[in-house]
Amino acid sequence: MSRLARQTANRLSQENYSPTMIIGSLRLAEFALLALTGFIVHALYVGLSSDATVYLYLPAILIGSTLAVLLIQIADGYQVPALRSALRTLPKVLSAWTIAFAIISVLAFFMQYGLAFSRFWFAAWYVSGAVGLIIVRNVVAFGIRRWARNGIMERRAVIVGGGEIAKGLIRSIEQDADNDIRICGFFDDRDERRSPPMIAGYPKLGNIDALVEFARMARIDMLIIAMPLNAESRVLELLKKLWILPLDIRLAAHANKLRFRPRAYSYVGAVPMLDIFDRPITDWDSVAKRIFDIFFSLLAIAVLWPVMIGTAIAIKLDSRGPVLFRQKRHGFNNEVISVLKFRSMYTEQCDPTARAAVTKGDPRVTKVGRFIRKTSIDELPQFFNVLRGDLSLVGPRPHAVVAAAHDRLFAEVVDGYFARHRVKPGVTGWAQINGWRGEIDNDEKIKKRTACDLYYIENWSLLFDLKILFLTPIRLFNTENAY
């Protein structure tokens, strides 16, 4: 990788704020704001002691707040361009709040509850809610403009391909002043005659092999392939190298004469794109999975702490050395992480690299180690890896950095092996549930494991995680390959 590419990657190494997450958080914040103002006004003026609080006011507050958020959404009030300019979108926002109030009033009239509500409460809630929306919208607009200047809230994109097509793509993206895309440079395998070192003010950072290394270092969100659809073989060759990355991959369609149905496209600003690959488990899905991980990890630690303490004591009594063992393994996006395990081998014979896999009857394993490896108790400290954020509770199992089968690295055995690192590795996984645990002593085993991991990534859901989690203790009774 060139010096310029390395400097650019280091500059982009910090996580950015997802526009989707910010917009979703704003919806929740505005719903909470409107509901809270209605409830506070009711508590101060009407009081909380009457039955009307539960049967009339509370439903009205929740329905009104929900309607307001839905109407703001319909009016495109939650688009990034709208959020950047509070004054331009406030009429839409206040109109949505007014219409929501009108709907509540009509409902109350037809249900013959109109006289049961305090008119002062109605007016005070409307005014306080409107003031709250004005303040929140101005604060958010200021924050978004500041984050955009600092490069904190943006979608970072890299162009794959050069020449006139890439130049036209960049110009089309830049013409839309409200889009949230930041172009970080471009990569191309062609020489300078066909692909100059600078296009539309953006530098060429290297070839496609350098792009894979760059994407491992930088926090980017999207790869945009700027090539014609008729360059099928070249596009397929690129995708074969790039699909292992945890990124959105799009094929720019701005220069293609062939047109599909409008629903076939997504858009970056006004530029049509064909969606090739989507980054798995993003935005609110990643939040839900993180909450899932933390909740069940804390629950597991609360239930299993006597087993963990008993194991630590047994290890100390059985052999000299530390209770815990740390091993370098591949994590999300090929990052190297330090995974915790209970020590199951004699200290002087431990193999942090896992280059020599443990085999049946391995003399390096202690007496206690044989038991905890067979029952997977040695993996319990990894719940702390989950809390730290290195691992997920469910996902592809992390393999040691130099793990090999018959002196061949796993990546040499399985084409696209690193695609399993598009999500965080897990304490348990779909491969383990299907019996692919223990020693990997032939090519077929690592191929089967990888196939299960890729199936999990493509079909992920919280229910799928829950299924794997609850099947894990049952499948642990099959200890045939665990030693």
Instruction: Name the residue ranges covered by the structural domains of the chain.
Output: 3-15+154-277, 19-150, 283-475
* Amino acid letter for position 120: F
pLDDT of residue 298: 95
Dihedral Cα 227, 230, 233, 235, nearest 10 deg = 30
* Residue 20 near residue 77, CB atoms below 8 Å: no
pLDDT of residue 426: 93
Task: Return the number of other C-beta atoms located less than 10 Å from residue 354's C-beta.
Answer: 16
pLDDT of residue 72: 92
268-292: per-residue pLDDT in tens? Answer: 767 888 888 888 888 888 889 999 9
d(CA 481, CA 414): 21
Report the DSSP beta bridge partners of residue 341: 325
Task: Return the number of other C-beta atoms located less than 10 Å from residue 183's C-beta.
Answer: 20
Which pair of structure tokens corresponds to residue 162? 């050069």
Domain 3-15+154-277 class? alpha beta
- Rounded to a whole number of angstroms, the CA Rg of the chain reads 28
pLDDT of residue 255: 58
Is the pTM here over 0.85, yes or no? no
d(CA 197, CA 205): 8
For 202, counting Cβ atoms within 10 Å of its Cβ (0-12 exposed, 13-18 middle, 19+ buried), the class is: middle
Place of tokens 């014609």: 228
DSSP-derived secondary structure letter, 56: I
DSSP-derived secondary structure letter, 54: I
Report the DSSP beta bridge partners of residue 365: 345
Nearest alpha carbon to residue 422 among 239, 153, 216: 216
Which pair of structure tokens corresponds to residue 345? 């081998």
d(CA 56, CA 69): 20
Nearest alpha carbon to residue 162 among 212, 201, 196: 196
- The three-state secondary structure class of 395 is coil
- Please name the helix (run of DSSP H) or strand (run of DSSP E) that holds residue 306, with its range, or none: helix 283-318
| Spans in the chain with pLDDT lower than 70 | 46-55, 111-117, 150-151, 177-178, 229-230, 254-264, 269, 351-359, 361, 403-408, 438-441, 477-483
Place of tokens 């060429």: 204
* Residue 476 near residue 375, CB atoms below 8 Å: yes
